[in-house]
Structure 1
């Protein structure tokens, strides 16, 4: 089959999670519910932190940015899927597909870096409590978020520009519910060796460095906590890390799970279903993890909801 240049490609077909018409209403209802819960939950986190002065701390500042990234990741993928199911039109334009690739990489990388920054914040709070306010100044917090965003945008821009150079054949069906970069590369007729090498190196840097930072931070945290003489003090110190550690485990655990499942299965559709576990589920559960495990957050949410009810 003769490859044709990508400039002649008008769009792709997103095959979604299932080709069974009887299951489409169930998939639509499920993902619509998950999307609404994700957006509402994360927006409540942002509003609660913004309205309560007790939560104007570095930890909750980073949490607001994490909630923003969660909403953006879900908004990049789910609305298009819902529209496709409702209109029964699986097509996505070439530009729209690349836009999905770009924004998904940006906010997935941003979430990755934010989790590492939040681990550093917990490290300073527990291992250097007397210097916490000196180290974690507002200027440093903003700088950490901006640097994380700039690195994420740079990586997304690099891969999107490289994707522009790919050539495609006439087979333009993507067995996924959004334009994932790995699936796009599999459709290419041009040589993708250099592209795959760059993706591997970027994954090692962008994924490995934050994960290594998180691991080293928690090794020092555990070491410091175990030196606390009282069991009550150790519990209190660990409790401040519980929410973040749960989110980290969910995010990286589901990511590794999808990677392993894609390695052991030959079915692209099964891989697409498994990818829901890292591209949708963590973003939906993060607000619940932080609100249920944090007494301050629960108090702020109740005050926020109570104020909203009183205005009605």
Structure 2
């Protein structure tokens, strides 16, 4: 068998959750409602935190960052899933699949880092309540820069995606509505 990557110009077929049109329509409405609610709620939080001067503490800054990450995280997969639910046959290109896989992991890692920083913020607020403003004024900027640069969360998904992008693929149907880890699609042993 040729060891080169044979997946240069292929499309993957996303099979979806159901083939029944009524079930697809019901799922489409449910996911549309949840997606719009997620976008609206997170945008409302961001605007509220930016407008109200009483919400200028580090905790609310981290909540604002988490809301922004939540908007982008859900926007990586849900729009394509909604399009697939309303079409008869749904395709995703090889590059689109790996782009989705990369950003899914990138934003997931970023959320983990933000949640870790928020955990530290709450630890300082609970264990050192009198020194909280002093401690967080020094470390908040450093933590925000670390979370803002997201250097660490860039490396992990790059390794995951680069590891699979060189594999040959012969399975062209995906039984999900999003791209799974690409090892499931490869025709070689990935262990």
TM-score by shorter chain over 0.5:
yes
Alpha carbons of structure 1 residues 26 and 4: separation in structure 2 relative to 1, 3 Å: farther
Alpha carbons of structure 1 residues 124 and 144: separation in structure 2 relative to 1, 3 Å: farther
1:5 shift after superposition: 2.7
Aligned to 2:147: 145
Cα distance in 2 for residues equivalent to 1:8 and 1:70: 32
Does residue 39 (structure 1) correspond to residue 39 (structure 2)? The answer is yes
Aligned to 2:30: 30
Aligned to 2:81: 81
Offset from partner CA, 1:49-85 (integer Å, 9 cap, x none): 0001111111011101111111111100010111122
Does residue 121 (structure 1) correspond to residue 96 (structure 2)? The answer is no
Aligned residues: 189
Any stretches of 5+ residues in structure 2 without a counterpart?
none
Cα distance in 1 for residues equivalent to 2:39 and 2:6: 35
1:22 shift after superposition: 2.5
TM-score in terms of structure 2 length: 0.91
- Deviating beyond 4 angstroms after TM superposition, the runs of 4 or more aligned structure 1 residues are 1-4
Which is helix-richer, 1 or 2? Answer: 1
Offset from partner CA, 1:5-45 (integer Å, 9 cap, x none): 33444111111222222311111111111110000000101
**8 A contact 1:3–1:168 mirrored in 2:** no
SS in 2 for 1:136: helix
1:4 shift after superposition: 7.2
Any stretches of 5+ residues in structure 1 without a counterpart?
194-312
Cα distance in 2 for residues equivalent to 1:141 and 1:50: 19
Cα distance in 2 for residues equivalent to 1:168 and 1:3: 11
SS in 1 for 2:16: coil
Aligned to 1:188: 186
Cα distance in 2 for residues equivalent to 1:2 and 1:66: 45
- Aligned 1:102-117 pairs, distance under 5 A: 102-117=102-117
**8 A contact 2:167–2:186 mirrored in 1:** yes
Offset from partner CA, 1:256-301 (integer Å, 9 cap, x none): xxxxxxxxxxxxxxxxxxxxxxxxxxxxxxxxxxxxxxxxxxxxxx
Offset from partner CA, 1:215-270 (integer Å, 9 cap, x none): xxxxxxxxxxxxxxxxxxxxxxxxxxxxxxxxxxxxxxxxxxxxxxxxxxxxxxxx
- Aligned 1:234-245 pairs, distance under 5 A: none
Cα distance in 2 for residues equivalent to 1:108 and 1:59: 20
SS in 1 for 2:179: coil
1:46 shift after superposition: 0.4
TM-score in terms of structure 1 length: 0.57
Aligned to 1:70: 70
